[in-house]
Amino acid sequence: MAKDKKKKKKRKKITTKFLPRKHAGKITGPYRIMEDLIGAYHPHLIDAKIAICWRLGWTEDPDGWIKLGQCKKGSDLDRALHHYDFVVLLNHEVWNAADFSDEKKRAVVDHELCHAAVVVDRNGEPKTDEAGRTCYRIRKHDVEEFREIVARHGSYKRQIEAFAAAIAEKASRPLIAAAEKARKNGNGKKADKKAVAGK
């Protein structure tokens, strides 16, 4: 009787799950996308060892943004233990949502790969550590700004001008068109979270 009255211990939730590169002999979707993007746009990462993990249970932050992915650089200890230079975390719930298209998936993985950069010396040559491994770093976003500031003051920084030019050039792309359509229909906040809120 006393045992029945004991409360069940609550187990800690697991928030990350390693995604193997292959399942049933085939390369899994996220790895296939990543390898295609590395070949096309990120040649500096061809020799990098990059793991992909699902991130479970990411929720909105206080401003209503939801993280779609994150790139984390492996520490020296991480590299010694499992040899990965980077780990890309992907939001499991968003990635597997019916309305999260292949184009959006490619955009998220491409975004995270843009964070993975090689450390270079004064001559622009890649740096290596004592073990002969390439040194990596996390690259920051090109633009860190508030919409209100741009609305009030325009493109007052070179980075914003370059970013605005890139947006104008690709305005017909599905991600931007979908977000703009949703915004005009009054669902802008929801579209922001689903379509363009990668951090």
Given a cut of 80, is residue 37 above it in pLDDT? yes
Q: Length of the chain, please?
A: 199
Instruction: Give Cα 126 to chain centroid, integer Å.
Output: 24
**Contact between residue 52 and residue 88 where contact means Cβ atoms under 8 Å apart:** yes
More confident residue, 101 or 177: 101
How far apart, in whole angstroms, are the C-alpha atoms of residue 126 and residue 119?
Answer: 6
* Residue-level pLDDT at 3: 58
Domain ranges of the chain: 13-140, 142-199
Q: Which CATH fold topology does 13-140 show?
A: Zincin-like (3.30.2010)
**Contact between residue 59 and residue 96 where contact means Cβ atoms under 8 Å apart:** no
How much of the chain, in percent, has pLDDT values that exceed 90? 64
Q: Which residue has the tokens 């890139």?
A: 166
> DSSP string of 68-135?
-EEEEEPPHHHHHHH--SEEEEEEHHHHTSTT--HHHHHHHHHHHHHHEEE-B-TTSPBPB-TTSPBP
The pLDDT tens digits of the residues spanning 109-153 come to 999 999 999 999 999 999 999 999 999 999 999 888 888 888 888
How far apart, in whole angstroms, are the C-alpha atoms of residue 73 and residue 115?
Answer: 9
- Which residues are within 8 A (CB) of 183 and not within 5 positions of it... i.e. 6 or more apart? 191
